[in-house]
Amino acid sequence: MMTKKEWIMPSEETTDILAAIAGLSEGVKAEFASLTHGLDALSQGQARQAADMVTMKADLATMKADMVTMKADMATMKADVVTMKADMVTMKADIVTMKKDIGNLGSELLSVRVDLMARMDRLQDKMSSFADDVTVNYGAVSHTDRIAKSASEETRLLSETVNAMQRQIRRIAAKVFGTDDLHS
């Protein structure tokens, strides 16, 4: 064991050990300082990472909210597409109905055209018959008019002849009866 003096007074060996311990102590201090500095750097990095994590969590929450909104928008769009499909089916049915109606109108139009042509032919026949009747009647009227004029002329001539005969009869009667009265 060592005595107190030996403890207090270092021997060469002790001095060497103390120097080595002091050197080690300086090395440990330097290593400790380096590790402390490294720990500080790691701590600062960790703080930055923690702040980045908070930011990332906020961004993730925003993204989740955006995704919920997008899902709702997609559901609305899907409903709109379904409504549009239903409208298109209705429109297609309406178009098919309209095509049938147009086809029916075409056949009805053809039927009306045939009926109109038949009616126009009948009217043309009636007009031709009417024109023939007018021509015949005009000829008959003209003939009747000529007959009437001729009869009127004959009547006038006959009247003149009768008047002349009446005058002669009066003269003869006046000579036979000796009267001057020609009007009796």
pLDDT digits (tens, 9 = 90+) for 117-128: 999 999 998 888
Give the residue ranges of the chain where pLDDT is below 50: 184
Q: Are 152 and 139 in contact (CB under 8 A)?
A: no
Long-range pairs, 115-123, Cβ under 8 A, ≥24: none
The pTM assigned to this predicted structure is 0.37
Note the pLDDT of residue 166: 92
Structure tokens belonging to residue 157: 């001539």
Q: Are 182 and 174 in contact (CB under 8 A)?
A: yes
Note the pLDDT of residue 3: 58
Note the pLDDT of residue 147: 79
Note the pLDDT of residue 151: 77
3-state secondary structure labels for all residues of 155-175:
HHHHHHHHHHHHHHHHHHHHH
